[in-house]
């Protein structure tokens, strides 16, 4: 196990009605608040009105309309609003896109240059405005981690940045806020959670028993509760378990002590940069194809472990047959959840494969992945997804 530093200082308010703690979470940082959110869903489900009521004595400036793949221009607009109104704390209400946008706004407030430089060069991030979140989508884990992903459509780039200074100070997680999600968002969000786990589970570091058990439990949670949430949107048990799985999948526990680059996320970021697709959908399409592509004598035992401990498949003498069954189960699970499972279904052709593959390898450091990938490897995986 590699050396690591684990820091997860976000105060979590989990459960029904926990938004009542919002004044406490906000006012310790100040009363000038930038409220950041996406579309109109928080007005329809009552969160907006409740927030306004609870923070009635605060000076609230609004930044609505954050995109599903948040754009750098929206970040820049948020930075301007913070400076213009002397904002002291940022309140992000939404899913990972809203939270990611808010984190980089908070960092950009203290940075004299353009905010895109903070995405390209995370070491430039120093001080960050406090960020408090109210989560409305179980997917990215951004509510308890240092990461943010921002798109720059002018140059077709979608990049991740990270700084421990961007970890939210507090996050409110009420599973009832997930009840009104469209089914595809529940499904794609679950695919994102599972992908976060896969990225850490499939690593070359072998002596991480406890991290692997965390990972397997989170994967089993998604497999059990996503179908229930899709069938019964108001099932509290299902929503609560998916919401907590989202947070734990990427707050550092599963990946602690496991070095190496991620694989599917860098590839998917290129798809989103060029086609602006739903992140979890792209991950669901890529993941089983990547699994098949890297299956070898070197990796087969890990896939057998995955099949036994996550899918609980019956024993087979042929390890490769067993591993392929586990991969089949993974692909079928995403398909049964209603996620499109090919590029052709979501309007992606082969015209940008070359440049997307080149950028995925270079920006994503895929030479240091669980199984190192070249540009041609990535193109082959893309073709498998057609």
Examine residue 307 and state whether it is found in any structural domain, yes or no.
yes
Q: Specify whether 158 is located in the same domain as 206.
A: no
Distance CA 356, CA 343 (A): 14
Helices (H), 10-59: 22-27, 41-44, 47-54
Mean pLDDT, the chain, rounded, equals: 95
Examine residue 3 and state whether it is found in any structural domain, yes or no.
no
Q: Specify whether 94 is located in the same domain as 221.
A: no
Cα-based distances in Å from 86 to 82, 90, 94, 150, 247: 6, 11, 23, 24, 31
Helices (H), 135-208: 183-201
Q: Specify whether 243 is located in the same domain as 309.
A: yes
The encoded tokens of residue 328 equal 């089949």
Collapsed DSSP state (helix, strand, coil) of residue 61: strand
Q: Where are the beta strands (DSSP E) in the chain?
A: 11-14, 32-37, 59-63, 89-94, 131-135, 147-152, 157-162, 170-173
Q: Specify whether 84 is located in the same domain as 202.
A: no
> Which structural domain, as residue segments, surrounds residue 190?
182-384
Collapsed DSSP state (helix, strand, coil) of residue 41: helix
Q: Specify whether 219 is located in the same domain as 366.
A: yes
Examine residue 2 and state whether it is found in any structural domain, yes or no.
no
Cα-based distances in Å from 371 to 13, 201, 275, 324: 38, 13, 26, 17
Examine residue 69 and state whether it is found in any structural domain, yes or no.
yes
Q: Specify whether 355 is located in the same domain as 260.
A: yes
Q: How confident is the model at residue 332, as a pLDDT?
A: 98
Q: Specify whether 147 is located in the same domain as 264.
A: no
Domain final position from 177, 196, 214: 177
Per-residue pLDDT tens listing for the chain (386 residues): 888 888 778 999 999 999 999 999 999 999 999 999 998 788 888 899 999 999 999 999 999 999 988 999 999 999 999 999 999 999 999 999 999 999 999 999 999 999 999 999 999 999 999 999 999 999 999 999 999 999 999 998 999 999 999 999 999 999 999 999 999 999 999 999 999 999 999 998 888 999 999 999 999 999 999 999 999 999 999 999 999 999 999 999 999 999 999 999 999 999 998 998 899 999 999 999 999 999 999 999 999 999 999 999 998 999 999 999 999 999 999 999 999 999 999 999 999 999 999 999 999 999 999 999 999 999 999 999 99
Q: In this structure, are strands 131-135 and 170-173 parallel, antiparallel, or unpaired?
A: parallel
CA dihedral of 268, 361, 353, 386, whole degrees rounded to 10 = -50
Q: How many CB atoms lie within 10 A of CB 372?
A: 15
Examine residue 232 and state whether it is found in any structural domain, yes or no.
yes
Domain final position from 115, 145, 177: 177
Q: Specify whether 198 is located in the same domain as 51.
A: no
Are 54 and 19 contacting, i.e. CB atoms less than 8 angstroms apart?
yes
pTM across the whole model: 0.94
Q: Specify whether 190 is located in the same domain as 210.
A: yes
Q: Specify whether 194 is located in the same domain as 149.
A: no
Q: Pick from 255, 247, 259: which is nearest to 210 by CA?
A: 255
Q: Specify whether 171 is located in the same domain as 190.
A: no
Q: How confident is the model at residue 41, as a pLDDT?
A: 83
The CATH number of whichever domain residue 155 belongs to comes to 3.40.50.1970
Examine residue 118 and state whether it is found in any structural domain, yes or no.
yes
The CATH number of whichever domain residue 186 belongs to comes to 1.20.1090.10
- Burial class of 315 by CB neighbour count within 10 A (0 to 12, 13 to 18, 19+): exposed
List residues bridging with 62 in a β-sheet.
35
Q: Specify whether 209 is located in the same domain as 312.
A: yes
Examine residue 4 and state whether it is found in any structural domain, yes or no.
no
Examine residue 274 and state whether it is found in any structural domain, yes or no.
yes
Domain final position from 140, 157, 177: 177
Collapsed DSSP state (helix, strand, coil) of residue 173: strand
How many independent structural domains does the chain possess?
2
Are 131 and 88 contacting, i.e. CB atoms less than 8 angstroms apart?
no
- CB-hemisphere CA count at 13 Å for 79? 22
């Amino acid at each position: 196990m590699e050396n690591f530093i684990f820091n997860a200082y976000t105060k979590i308010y989990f459960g029904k009605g926990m938004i009542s703690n919002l004044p406490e979470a906000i006012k310790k940082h100040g009363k000038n608040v930038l409220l950041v959110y996406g579309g109109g869903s928080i007005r329809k489900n009552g969160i907006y009105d409740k927030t306004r009521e609870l923070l009635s004595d605060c000076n609230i400036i609004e930044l609505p309309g954050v995109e599903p793949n948040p754009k750098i221009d929206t970040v820049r607009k948020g930075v301007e609003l913070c400076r213009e109104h002397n904002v002291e704390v940022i309140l992000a209400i939404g899913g990972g896109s809203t939270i990611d946008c808010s984190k980089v706004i908070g960092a950009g407030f203290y940075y004299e240059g353009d905010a895109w430089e903070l995405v390209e060069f995370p070491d430039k991030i120093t001080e960050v405005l406090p960020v408090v979140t109210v989560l409305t989508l179980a997917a990215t884990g951004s509510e308890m981690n240092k990461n943010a992903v921002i798109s720059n459509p002018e140059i077709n780039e979608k990049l991740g940045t990270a700084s421990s200074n961007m970890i939210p100070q507090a996050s409110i997680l009420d599973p009832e806020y997930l009840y009104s999600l469209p089914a595809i968002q529940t499904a794609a969000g679950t695919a994102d959670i599972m992908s976060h786990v896969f990225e850490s589970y499939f690593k070359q570091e072998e002596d991480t028993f406890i991290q692997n058990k965390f990972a397997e439990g989170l994967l089993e949670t998604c497999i059990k509760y996503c179908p229930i949430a899709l069938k019964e949107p108001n099932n509290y048990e299902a929503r609560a378990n998916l919401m907590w799985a989202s947070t734990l999948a990427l707050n550092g526990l599963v990946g602690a002590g496991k070095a190496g680059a991620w694989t599917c996320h860098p590839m998917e970021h290129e798809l989103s940069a060029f086609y602006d697709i739903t992140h979890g959908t792209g991950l669901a399409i890529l993941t089983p194809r990547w699994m098949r592509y890297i299956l070898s004598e070197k990796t087969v035992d890990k896939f057998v472990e995955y099949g036994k401990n996550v899918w609980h498949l019956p024993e087979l003498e042929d390890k490769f047959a067993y591993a392929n069954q586990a991969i089949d189960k993974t692909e079928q699970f995403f398909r049964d959840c209603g996620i499109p499972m090919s590029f052709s279904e979501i309007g992606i052709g082969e015209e940008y494969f070359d440049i997307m593959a080149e950028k995925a390898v270079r920006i994503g450091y895929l030479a240091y992945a669980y199984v190192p990938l070249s540009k041609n490897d990535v193109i082959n995986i893309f073709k498998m997804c057609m």
